[in-house]
């Protein structure tokens, strides 16, 4: 069935033995719904829901859900269920529980990995596919985590740069190097420029925002499947790839190359955005998705 059978509101949906927080908005539109697949790993859909969610619900049915252990969803009794395989199965169980034949997964950052894996595993259930800053690389790429310290190094003040390079001298593991680099930029005088194209776009702190689930983050960071890009190249699902020109988390090249690999993909570049396009260019972001669907 299509989303015309849905009703707006918040509900709990059990998937993989865990109750997931799910919210439906714009159900009166009917048709195939957008399903927002949030980033992190370990974050929630809270920020994107508030930045562009209500506006997108004016043109489409939108389903928001927090992944297991994240945001307003329950935590699993077994932390070893924080795996991509389980997250993909959760998404399909939520789709089935809502009575939907097909969905449009809308992945943001890490959520693109989950949306992509879902599309590869359940292509018959996917009408279209949307990627916002996809960290998907090909088998010959050195990897997102290997590049992150260089992205940080670019923006540091001279003394900060010297300190970071000293710390990195003794580290070889790419995840540890990334965590060290992120720690440095987070406390840097230039931190805002790493996260946003224009620091004036930084929203006020929201005390109601859910805390990140670090247990999930550490379980999933660095587990990306290197041949995912090849699998995506073999599917013909219409795909929108969106990237901020100043995205230093993922980088412009990854999104461009993924769009080139996929036979039915279109690339949309946002020239005044970093990683958080929905916060820096919300009107253009909404227009891009609206036009695509």
Range of the domain at 181: 144-189
The pLDDT value given to residue 1: 45
Same structural domain for residues 50 and 153? no
Residues 152 and 251: beta-carbon distance below 8 Å: no
Question: How many domains would you assign to the chain?
Answer: 2
Structural domain includes residue 122: yes
The pLDDT value given to residue 143: 85
Same structural domain for residues 253 and 130? yes
* Last-in-domain residue among 189, 219, 253: 189
pLDDT, tens digit, for every residue of 194-211? Answer: 989 999 999 999 999 999
For the chain, which residues score pLDDT lower than 70?
Answer: 1-4
Tokens 């005390």, located at residue: 207
Rounded Cα–Cα distance for residues 108 and 178 (Å): 20
The pLDDT value given to residue 5: 74
Same structural domain for residues 183 and 90? no
pLDDT, tens digit, for every residue of 223-270? Answer: 999 899 999 999 999 999 999 999 999 999 999 999 999 999 999 999
- Longest Cα separation, the chain: 59
pTM: 0.95
């Amino acid at each position: 069935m299509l989303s015309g059978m849905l009703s707006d509101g918040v509900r709990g949906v059990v998937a993989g033995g865990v109750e997931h927080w799910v919210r439906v908005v714009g159900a009166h539109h009917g048709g195939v719904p957008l399903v927002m697949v949030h980033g992190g790993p370990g974050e929630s859909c809270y920020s994107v829901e508030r930045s562009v969610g209500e506006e997108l619900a004016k043109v489409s049915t939108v389903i928001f859900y927090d992944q297991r252990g994240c945001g307003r969803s329950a935590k699993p009794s077994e932390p070893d269920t924080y795996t991509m395989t389980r997250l993909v199965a959760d998404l399909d169980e939520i789709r089935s529980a809502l009575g939907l034949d097909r969905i449009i997964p809308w992945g943001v950052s890490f959520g693109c990995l989950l949306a992509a894996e879902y599309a590869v595993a359940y292509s018959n259930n996917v009408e279209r596919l949307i990627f916002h800053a996809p960290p998907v690389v090909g088998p010959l790429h050195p990897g997102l985590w290997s590049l992150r310290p260089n992205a940080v190094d670019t923006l540091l003040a001279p003394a900060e740069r010297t300190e970071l390079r000293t710390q990195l001298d003794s580290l070889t593991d790419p995840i540890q190097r990334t965590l060290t680099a992120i720690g440095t930029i987070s406390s840097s005088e230039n931190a805002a420029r790493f996260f946003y194209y224009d620091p004036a776009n930084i929203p006020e702190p929201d005390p109601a925002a859910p805390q990140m689930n670090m247990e999930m983050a550490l379980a999933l960071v660095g587990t990306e499947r290197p041949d995912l890009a090849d699998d995506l190249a073999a599917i013909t699902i219409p795909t929108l790839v969106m990237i901020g020109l100043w995205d230093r988390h993922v980088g412009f090249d990854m999104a461009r190359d993924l769009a080139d690999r996929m036979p039915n993909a279109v690339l949309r570049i946002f020239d005044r955005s970093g990683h958080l396009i929905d916060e820096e260019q919300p009107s253009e972001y909404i227009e891009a998705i609206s036009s695509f669907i």
